[in-house]
Structure 1
Amino acid sequence: MRTIKTNKTLKNTTSKVYTLHQLDWLEYVALGLSLWFVFYPKPYEILLVALLLLPFVGMFLNGLHKPSIASLVEVDYSAKEKYDVADFIDVPAWAIVLRVLMDYETDSFIAILTAGTVALVGICLFLLVTHQQISDSNKDKSWIYGSIVFSFFVYSYSAVVAVNCTFDNSEPKVYETEVIDKHISRSRKGGRSYYVKVKPWGHHYDAENIRVSSSEYDLYHIHDQVVVDYKEGLLGIPWYYLEK
């Protein structure tokens, strides 16, 4: 019985490695498109759609022979990050997060939570359709599930914000306000974020910092009259942006 169990484990491990190796090309595509999207997001909509689809394409191709969910995670006991989720899931998720943080100001946590939860459930169901559950004998079962769900969480909540704002064609409500300050925030890793502080507007009763791009930052000066465009969002997540 021990020999049978060992052979079965070896077979599953070999199959897992072979499956991931087959999709190396997709992981390189995910890495390339993600870097492109983060550092030079043009054409924005096309790159976003490609990154949104990559996790589903990867799971579909990986799941053609109905492998275990564990086949999507490489376990390396010698590494600091022992559980490495397939890059065609992980990398696009973080790329979308970064662009969402740089590009959009949202105005409803509840709306993001609702839409993001629906998206999270949807991608989890897709995973269960294309893959088998992890064997109870796998000692890393809980950690593998946790790693995948965390990556899905990052992907789902950032994806709904990106889709909501990028493809929103609704007419904005316009609020006039005034610039009262501006500053550049520097992170420990050398990154820069550009903010313009404006007087209260609409239902925002306190002065607030609104993020702008580096190319727009020098266009704003203290006492400038500016406009805040407030939109309802494609998925019902209100968001807004600043313009002269």
Structure 2
Amino acid sequence: MKEYKLAKGWAIFIYLLAPILVSLFAWLLILPFQNGDFLLKLGWLLIPVALAMIALMIIGVLDAYNGRLIIGKNRIISISTLSKRELKLEEIKGYTVNEQYIFVEPNSSSKKSIKISKYTGGYREILHWLSLSYPDLDVTNALEEEQEILQDESVGWTKEVREEKLAKARQRAKLLNWVGGLTTAWIFFYPTPYSYSILAAMLIPIVALAVVKLSDGLIRIDEKKGSAYPSLFYALIYPSLGIMLRVLLDFDIFDYSHVWPVSGLITLAFLFLLLINQKEFTFKKKVDYLTVSILALILFAYSFGAVIHINCYYDHSEAEHYTAKILDKRISSGKSRSYYLKLSTWGRQNEIDDVSVSKALYNRAEVGAEVNIYFRNGILDIPWFKVTDK
């Protein structure tokens, strides 16, 4: 029998970090009651999040101390704070590996899989033992799927034709995924010429969805490890998220009420076209519902970005001009740095509000000075404005 626990370095890290995080979330727990009406209104969000995170930190510490994996002569046992799972060696079907865990899979649906963190001491030893005794189910599944494709006469009349179609589908998917990634980098780091970069990012997800539909099931949307089917997941997700983030940086929307229904309708239209007469999602497993839900969010991000870009960039109507006084300025730091000016009321804006601006404008702006605001109604009836000192 051999026992494995969380690697010592990671255990020490958790013991040191957990008290700090518990203190932080305990402070968030009482914060809404100490800082006026605004944070009190956010209490419904802050309090449950703080309680959940405190509980998570406590469970993490207990797992670091008590959690263990035991490999015996005839069984493997996983013990954690909230559960205990056990599989006899003859009950193990095989294993799969992702970036964070090894999953030991049972050969019966009545049994639950055992999850082993890569931060477990002796992780490589465990993986080596599994590889000597059991198959890697990702490899097995990919081989089985490839054989199914090569035996499917709907793909082609002969095996040679089917092999050629599968090879071309993989090349096509790889190319589109790379183009999607590079285009996303283009619109983020050097969106010049602007109109062409955004147009390219808007077209790639449409092309990706069209390729998936026209492949008759040979090219898929979802990226699954251990699948023989090529996927266009990255050609869809990268430009979609890129467009959404780009328009949030470039345009200030005055009223989002017309954005949601238009974006929602476009998302539903895409989903309908994608899911009708397709082979990828059978909805017999929960994972299919989860995957389609994630796909809907990605398509909504695309629709949101496309709607705002079209509404604002192609709006050449005469702007209404207003001025506002700079009351304050601040920088928000996180994964990226954002710059904000607090502006007085102006035109249709009846409340003091923070507005995101470029770094250059932020650096030029002085508290007490005035800025110009150009207000337009948008070609899709989504009002927006631009703040400038010129």
Which bracket does the TM-score occupy, shorter chain normalised?
0.7 to 0.9
1:215 aligns with 2:215: no
- Structure 1: unaligned runs, 5 residues or longer: 1-6, 78-83
Displacement of 1:173 in angstroms is: 0.9
Task: Give the SS at the match of 2:341.
Answer: strand
Structure with the greater relative contact order (CA < 8 A, sep ≥ 6): 1 or 2?
Answer: 1
Displacement of 1:139 in angstroms is: 6.0
State the AA in 2 paired with 1:75: K
Call closer, same or farther: CA 1:166–1:85 in 2, change over 3 Å. same
Task: Give the SS at the match of 2:331.
Answer: strand
**What CA deviation, in whole Å up to 9, does each residue of 1:98-147 have, x standing for no partner?**
11221111122220112212221232233246845623556632222222
Task: Give the SS at the match of 1:23.
Answer: helix
Aligned CA-pair RMSD: 2.9
Q: Which range moves more in the overlay, 51-60 or 135-144?
A: 135-144
Task: Give the SS at the match of 1:197.
Answer: strand
**What CA deviation, in whole Å up to 9, does each residue of 1:155-208 have, x standing for no partner?**
112221122112111111111221121111111x2x110111211111212211
Q: Which residue of 1 aligns with 2:321?
A: 174
Q: Which residue of 1 aligns with 2:208?
A: 58
State the AA in 1 paired with 2:377: E
Task: Give the SS at the match of 1:76.
Answer: coil
1:95 aligns with 2:242: yes
Q: Distance in 2 between matches of 1:164 and 1:202?
A: 21
State the AA in 2 paired with 1:163: I
Q: 1:183 aligns with which of 314, 326, 330?
A: 330
Contact 1:85 1:147 in 2 (8 A): no
- Structure 2: unaligned runs, 5 residues or longer: 1-143, 156-164
Call closer, same or farther: CA 1:10–1:154 in 2, change over 3 Å. farther
Q: Distance in 1 between matches of 2:150 and 2:214?
A: 17
Q: 1:199 aligns with which of 332, 344, 352?
A: 344
Q: 1:72 aligns with which of 221, 224, 231?
A: 221
State the AA in 1 paired with 2:180: A
Task: Give the SS at the match of 2:318.
Answer: coil
State the AA in 1 paired with 2:349: H
Say which one has the larger Rg: 2
Q: Which residue of 2 aligns with 1:108?
A: 255
Contact 1:175 1:229 in 2 (8 A): yes
1:239 aligns with 2:376: no
Q: Which range moves more in the overlay, 161-170 or 18-27?
A: 18-27
Contact 1:20 1:71 in 2 (8 A): no
Contact 2:173 2:232 in 1 (8 A): no
Q: Distance in 1 between matches of 2:216 and 2:285?
A: 17
Call closer, same or farther: CA 1:44–1:56 in 2, change over 3 Å. same
Q: Which residue of 2 aligns with 1:149?
A: 296
Q: Which residue of 2 aligns with 1:230?
A: 375
Contact 2:240 2:302 in 1 (8 A): yes
Displacement of 1:226 in angstroms is: 1.6
TM-score, normalization: structure 1? 0.83
Task: Give the SS at the match of 2:311.
Answer: helix
Which aligned segments of 4 or more residues in structure 1 are displaced greater than 6 angstroms?
13-17
1:164 aligns with 2:311: yes
Identity rate of aligned residues, in percent?
Answer: 25
State the AA in 2 paired with 1:11: E
1:21-60 alignment runs, 5 A limit: 21-60=171-210
